[in-house]
Amino acid sequence: MSEPVERDRHPLFMPLIVAGGLIFGFGLGLSHMARPEVVLDFLQFEDFGLLFVLGTGSVVAGTAFAIGVNLLDRAPLTGRAYARRLKSFDRNVLTGGVIFGVGWGLSGICPGAAYASLGIGNYPILLAIGGMFLGAYAQGLWRTYRSDNDAATAAKAD
């Protein structure tokens, strides 16, 4: 079994990931986003506090992105160049957004908050996490099937 291993991974890489995850999870707990009820209260216009979570979160992260892109050269632990998080736009962005929205509105749970919810001892959230894995697996199978079919159709057309 050979697995691609990142060469020369910096010894502080994993510790930083762990430290970042701890702060991230602490924030999700403190903000109460780890409680589906709080998200549902927001979506039902009963408590607009979640706007502050998304607001301060993206402003703090955005400041780091601006500093990295404009003032720094390469990341010390990976040697990677700093770049903004940019994804190409296509119909999938809208389709995925709609499906995600129905799921979020139904359950009040998103991936990061679900992991944090487990941390506060909310074991019923395992149903949501299990559902997410099933969903991610189903879309992977479906897209593999679809691209195989597209390839077969294209081959026939030749």
Partner 1 sequence: MEPLVTFAELFPNGIWRYAVGGALIGLGTAAIYLGTAIPAGASTFLESTLSYVSNVPRFNRAKYVASRDWRVAFTLSIVAGAAIYAVAFGDFGWTTRVSWWRLLGGGFLVGVGTRIGKGCTSGHGICGVGSVAPTSLVNVATFLGVAIVTAQIVQALGVSP
124 vs 157 by CB, closer to partner 1: 124
49 vs 150 by CB, closer to partner 1: 49
Rule CB under 8 A: say whether 151 interacts with partner 1.
Answer: no
> Which ranges constitute the DSSP H helices of the chain?
13-30, 36-43, 50-71, 91-107, 111-119, 125-157
Kindly determine how many residues on this chain lie close enough to bind partner 1 according to the rule CB under 8 A. 121
Closest CB 15 distance from partner 1, rounded Å: 10
Using CB under 8 A as the binding rule, the residues of this chain from 82 to 121 that contact partner 1 are 82-89, 92-121
50 vs 157 by CB, closer to partner 1: 50
Among 17, 149, 150, 151, binds partner 1 (CB under 8 A): 17
* Among 29, 43, 58, CA closest to 101: 43
**Would you say 19 and 8 are in contact if contact means Cβ atoms under 8 Å apart?**
no
- Rounded distance between C-alpha atoms, residue 150 and residue 18, angstroms: 41
**Would you say 88 and 81 are in contact if contact means Cβ atoms under 8 Å apart?**
no
Strand partners, 74: 81
100 vs 152 by CB, closer to partner 1: 100
Residue 16 tokens read as 């930083």
Q: Residue 126, Cβ neighbours under 10 Å: how many?
A: 12
131 vs 157 by CB, closer to partner 1: 131
Among 37, 149, 151, 152, binds partner 1 (CB under 8 A): 37
Rule CB under 8 A: say whether 29 interacts with partner 1.
Answer: yes
Using CB under 8 A as the binding rule, the residues of this chain from 52 to 81 that contact partner 1 are 52-65, 67-68, 72, 74-78, 80-81
